[in-house]
Amino acid sequence: MIGHGFSEYQELTLEHLRVEDILHMGQWIHVYVSFKLDSIPQGLSDPSALVILNDEKEVVQMVVLDEGCDSEYKLTEVEQKQISTFLQEQKVLENLSCKDGF
């Protein structure tokens, strides 16, 4: 994870990934993913991720959440790849319903 202003940088292994919720927000799909870390960066207590998809079901952005709120941390490319791979392996993107125009 990358701390605000690049003050911290760690490549972390995300474990026990799980989709907690999927919400349709207009043209966007929000996928909330929980995970466990062996080492939680200082300043985070309950990290998770918000994956924002467009109407083509393509990832537009991934946001690190802490206790369900935005945090000052960002995911590294390796961590983003772990989440993308998880979503593909679990067929999350394929199984999204077509409601709200999707």
One-character DSSP codes across the chain: -B-GGG--B-----EEEEEEEEEEETTEEEEEEEEE-SSPPTT-SSEEEEEEE-TTS-EEEEEEEETTEE-S-B--HHHHHHHHHHHHHTTTTTT---GGG-
Q: What is the pTM of this model?
A: 0.88
User: Each residue of 26-63: pLDDT tens digit?
Assistant: 999 999 999 999 899 988 999 999 999 998 999 999 99
How many structural domains compose the chain? 1
Q: Is residue 102 part of a domain?
A: no
Q: Is residue 28 part of a domain?
A: yes
The mean of the pLDDT values for the chain is: 90
Q: Is residue 101 part of a domain?
A: no
Domain interval for residue 12: 4-96
Greater confidence (86 vs 42) lies with: 86
